[in-house]
Amino acid sequence: MKTLLKLLNKYSYVLVFLVLETIAIVLLSNHNYYQHSRILNTNREITGYIYDRIDGTREYLSLKMTNEILVSENSNLRNKLADISLNKTELSIAEVQRLSYYTPARIVHSTVHKQLNYLTINKGRKQGVMRDMAVISEEGIVGIVLESSPNFATILPIINRDFRLSTKIKKNNFTGILHWDGNSPQQAVLNEIPYHADVQIGDTVITSGFSAIFPEGLHVGTISDYSLKEGNFYSIHIQLGTNFNNLFYVNVIKNYLQEEQRILEEKIKQ
The pLDDT tens digits of the residues spanning 191-242 come to: 999 988 999 999 999 999 887 788 888 999 999 999 887 678 899 999 999 9
Percent of the residues in the chain that have a pLDDT greater than 70, as a whole number: 60
Looking at the structure, tell me whether residues 217 and 154 fall in a common domain.
yes
Looking at the structure, tell me whether residues 147 and 235 fall in a common domain.
yes
**Higher confidence at residue 5 or residue 253?**
253
Residue 63 belongs to some domain of the structure: no
Residue 261 belongs to some domain of the structure: no
Looking at the structure, tell me whether residues 160 and 219 fall in a common domain.
yes
CATH of the domain at 205: 2.40.10.340
Residue 91 belongs to some domain of the structure: no
Looking at the structure, tell me whether residues 109 and 33 fall in a common domain.
no
Residue 241 belongs to some domain of the structure: yes
DSSP string over 96-141: HHH-EEEEEEEEEEE--SSSB--EEES--GGGT--TT-EEE-SSSE
Please count the other Cβ atoms lying within 10 Å of the Cβ belonging to residue 151.
Answer: 13
Looking at the structure, tell me whether residues 109 and 238 fall in a common domain.
yes
Least confident of 96-110, 154-168, 218-232: 96-110
d(CA 101, CA 91): 17
Looking at the structure, tell me whether residues 194 and 121 fall in a common domain.
yes
Residue 263 belongs to some domain of the structure: no
d(CA 18, CA 26): 12
pLDDT of 97 reads 47
pLDDT of 93 reads 46
Average pLDDT value over all residues in the chain:
77
Looking at the structure, tell me whether residues 40 and 125 fall in a common domain.
no
Looking at the structure, tell me whether residues 211 and 107 fall in a common domain.
yes
d(CA 146, CA 120): 10
Residue 11 belongs to some domain of the structure: yes
Looking at the structure, tell me whether residues 20 and 122 fall in a common domain.
no
Residue 62 belongs to some domain of the structure: no
Looking at the structure, tell me whether residues 208 and 119 fall in a common domain.
yes
Q: Is the pLDDT of residue 77 over 70?
A: no
Q: Is the pLDDT of residue 260 over 90?
A: no
Domain that includes residue 144, residue range: 100-253
Q: Is the pLDDT of residue 43 over 70?
A: no
Q: Is the pLDDT of residue 90 over 70?
A: no
Least confident of 38-52, 129-143, 245-259: 38-52
pLDDT of 231 reads 73
The pLDDT tens digits of the residues spanning 169-190 come to: 999 999 999 999 999 999 999 9
Smallest Cα–Cα separation from 111: which of 167, 161, 177, 166? 161
Residue 117 belongs to some domain of the structure: yes
The answer to whether the predicted template modeling score (pTM) of the entire model surpasses 0.75 is no
Q: How confident is the model at residue 45 (pLDDT cuts 50, 70, 90)?
A: low
Looking at the structure, tell me whether residues 36 and 106 fall in a common domain.
no
The pLDDT tens digits of the residues spanning 122-135 come to: 888 888 898 889 99
pLDDT of 259 reads 61
Please count the other Cβ atoms lying within 10 Å of the Cβ belonging to residue 158.
Answer: 27
Cβ atoms of 144 and 153 within 8 Å: the answer is no
pLDDT of 253 reads 87
Q: How confident is the model at residue 254 (pLDDT cuts 50, 70, 90)?
A: confident
Looking at the structure, tell me whether residues 107 and 38 fall in a common domain.
no
Q: How many domains does the chain fold into?
A: 2
